[in-house]
Chain A
Amino acid sequence: MIPRIYIPGDSGALALGAEKVAKAVRAELAERGIEAKIVRNGSRGAYFLEPMVEVATANGRVAYGPVKPSDVKSLFDSGFLTGGYHKRWLGAPDKIPFLAKQTRLTFARCGINDPLSLDAYKSLGGLKGLQNAVAMAPAEIVKQVTESGLRGRGGAGFPTGIKWKTVLDTAGERKYIVCNADEGDSATFADRMIMEGDPFVLIEGMTIAGIATGATKGFVYIRSEYPHAVAVMNKAVEIARKAGVLGLNVLGSPNAFDMEIRVGAGAYVCGEETSLLNSLEGKRGVVRAKPPLPAIQGLFGKPTVINNVISLASVPVIMDKGAAFYKDFGMGRSRGTIPIQIAGNVKHGGLFETAFGLTLGEIVDDIGGGTATGRPVKAVQVGGPLGAYFPRALFDTPFDYEEFAKRDGLIGHAGITVFDDTADMLKQARFAMEFCAIESCGKCTPCRIGSTRGVEVLDKVAAGIEPEKNLALVTDLCNTMKFGSLCALGGFTPYPVMSSITHFPEDFKPAPARVAAE
C-alpha cells in the first residue's frame, strides 16, 4: 500500500508554514525514492499544533506537530511513515486531549480528509441527511429542524426552524437560500474552517434548506478576506453539480436546487443580514429597516432564508440522526453543540466544538491553557468586536445564549479573544468605537455619528479632561446607540465599551494617575 501523508491546506495551517512543510516532504520523498500520496486535508482546528502532519498507518492515523520544514528530514529518519517516534509525535489525532474532549457534530469530518473528495465525505456519513430530506415533505423537514432547537449560530440566536417555516409559508414564485459567510468578527474562524475543510456539509445543509422551504437557488456570500475558502467552495459546488447533489434533480429526486458563490468586498457591515442582501443585489451594503423580514421580502424582494454557515452546516447531522439526538446536547434553551473559537493571547488556540454549558473559565483556563505569554488573563472578549469584555470575576458564566445575556454579554459567533494583563481597556473601548466608525454603513445617525463622537469623548477621558463628566457622556451615548441604531453594529458597539468601563474602571482613571501608575 502506498503510504498516505496528510498535510493541511487550511489557511491557518498555511499561515504557519504548511506549504513549506509540504514542499520539504515532497523533496524528501523524491530524494529517498519513496512513493507516497500527499493528501491536503483541512484543519482539525488545534492551531497550536499546526502544521499538524498525519500519516495513515496499519494501526490508524498518527499525528506529528507542530511540524517545521526543518523537522521533515528527521521525521523520515524516525520512520514516521509507519508511525515512528519523533519529538513532534502526538499519537492518534483523536486521542489528542484538545480534540478528544470535543463533541464534534457539525465539525465531525472537518480536517480528516481531502475536503474536495465527495467519496470521502460519503464514507464518513455525508449526504445521509439530504437522502432523508428528499424523501420527506417540506413541513416535516422544517419540523425536525425546529424540534432540534437549532438557533442561528451567526450571533443572533434566532430559532432556525421558525425562520424556515416563515419562508415555507410565504408564497413566492422564486425563493432563495442565502448563506452568510461574511465572517468578519475577530476571534471567529469556524465558518472559514468548515468551508475550507468540509465544504460539502454546507452544500448539503443549504440544499436541505432549499427543499424544506421551496427555494431553488442558493448563494454563499463569502468575505473577500477568505480567498482560500472561496476557491474550495467554488470547486466543491462544481463537484456537487457533476455528482447530481445539486441541479434539477437533487439526488435523483424531483427537487431542484443550485447554488453560486459570491465574494464580498471588504465591508464588515455586510455580515448584517439585510446589508448582505443589498450587497448581493449589487447595491451599497446599507442596512434595511425591518420589517419586512427577509423571510418575507428578502433577496430581490423574494422570500429568503438567510442563515450563518454553521447553522446550515449543522442541519445535515440533524436530518441524519434526528432532532432528538441533536437536542440532547446543551443546556436551557441553548441546544446542541457550538464550535467555540479560542483565540488571541492563548496557549492552546483553536476550534473547540462542544455542547453548550461549559463555563467561560473552563474554556479559557482548562481548554485554552491560559495566555500564550504566560501572564495572567485580564479580560476576554466573547462574541467578536461587538461582544462584551468579561473579567475573571465572570468566568463562572456558562456558555449559553441566555446566561451571557443576563450578564450584559453575548456569545455571538462564539469567538473568544483572550487578553493578558498588559491590555489597556480604555484603548480597547476606544477601538470598539473607532471600528464602528470605520465600518458604519452610514444609514442611521446613532451609529454613524455616535461612533465618531465616542472616539473623541474617550480620547478626552484618556487625556484626563473632565473624566467623570465625559464618562457619563459616553454612557449616555452608548445608551442612545444601543436603543437607537438600526442594526447590531451601532446597537452592540456599546457592549465592549460599557463592559470595559464597568469591569475595568481603573483603566479609565485620569491620565496623570495612569502615568504615575506606570
Chain B
Amino acid sequence: MTMQPASTEIASRTAAIIQDLKGLEGPLLPILHGIQEEFGHVPQDALPVIADGLNLSRAEVHGVVTFYHDFRARPAGRHVLKLCQAEACQSMGSDAVAAKIKQLLGIDFHETTSDGSVTLEPVYCLGLCACSPSAMLDGEVIGRLDDDKIDEIVAEVRS
C-alpha cells in the first residue's frame, strides 16, 4: 500500500506550492498540476488550503478539480498506461489492443491492478495519429502497437 501523508503534512506542502504559484495570472490549474506532481493525486485535504490561499469557496475548488480528467482523487499505480481510443487508433484496431491489454492485466479502464503496479486509462488522442495504434506509458510515447510491443509493455509494468 502507498503510504498516505498525514493531513497536516499535506496542508503544509500544499501551502508551499500555492506560495510559489499564486502570483501567476489564473493560478489554479498550475497549482493543481503542482499538487498532483507532489502527491501523485489531488488529496481532499489540499482543497480547503487552496480555497483559503486563493480566496475561493471550497465548492469552487472542488468543481474545478472534478471537471478535469487529469486530476486524480486517489493515487495511481506505480505505472500509468494510457491507451489511445480515438478514431485514428480505432481505424488501426485499438479496440482489439485494449481488449488484449485488459485481459493480460486483468483490469478494465480506470482501474488499478490489485498489486498497485499499473493503472489503465483510455486517452482520446496523443497526436500520434500517423503511428496508430498508440499508447503512453509513464509519459513515454509508443506507436504502432503490435503483439510484441504489448508483451513488452505488460512485462515492464509487471516488473
A residues sitting closer than 8 Å to B (CB atoms) are 11-12, 14-16, 47-48, 50, 183-189, 191-192, 217, 224-228, 260, 262-268, 279-286, 300, 341-346, 349-351, 372, 381, 384-385, 415, 417-420, 423, 428, 431, 435, 438-439, 441
Contact = CB atoms under 8 A, between A and B. Distances in A.
A349 B28 CA distance: 38
Given A186-B87, A267-B67, A284-B64, A262 B30 contact: yes
B13 interface: no
Contacts of A350: 130
B64 A282 contact: yes
B88 to A, nearest CB: 4
Contacts, number: 155
Given A262-B30, A282-B29, A282-B64, A15 B70 contact: no
Contacts of A12: 127-128, 130-131, 141, 143
B92 A265 contact: no
Interface string B109-151: 0000000000000011111111110101001111110000000
Chain A interface helix/strand/loop/mixed: mixed
A431 B142 contact: no
B33 interface: yes
B68 A266 contact: yes
7 contacts: A185-B125, A186-B125, A280-B26, A282-B26, A345-B92, A385-B87, A415-B129
Chain A CB count within 10 A is highest, among B26, B71, B123, B140, for: B26
Interface size class of B (residues with CB under 8 A): 35 or more
B129 A189 contact: yes
B69 A265 contact: yes
A349 B142 contact: no
Chain B interface helix/strand/loop/mixed: loop
Given A280-B29, A343-B130, A415-B129, 5 more contacts: A16-B131, A47-B131, A286-B67, A344-B90, A420-B91
Contact of A284 (B63, B88, B131, B144): B63
Nearest to A185: B125
B33 A265 contact: yes
Contacts of A423: 91
Contacts of B92: 344-345, 372
A226 B144 CA distance: 18
A281 B29 CA distance: 8
B68 A285 contact: yes
A515 to B, nearest CB: 19
A77 B132 CA distance: 32
A83 to B, nearest CB: 27
Contacts of A384: 87
Interface in B60-89: 63-64, 67-71, 86-89
A224 B70 contact: yes
Given A15-B131, A185-B125, A284-B67, A265 B143 contact: no
Contacts of A420: 91
Interface in B38-73: 54, 63-64, 67-71
A48 B32 CA distance: 38
B106 interface: no
Given A186-B125, A265-B29, A349 B69 contact: no
Contacts of A286: 67
A186 B141 CA distance: 16
A353 to B, nearest CB: 14
Contacts of A300: 25-26
Contact of B29 (A16, A50, A262, A428): A262
A281 B91 CA distance: 37
B70 A189 contact: no
A266 B87 contact: no
Contacts of A226: 127
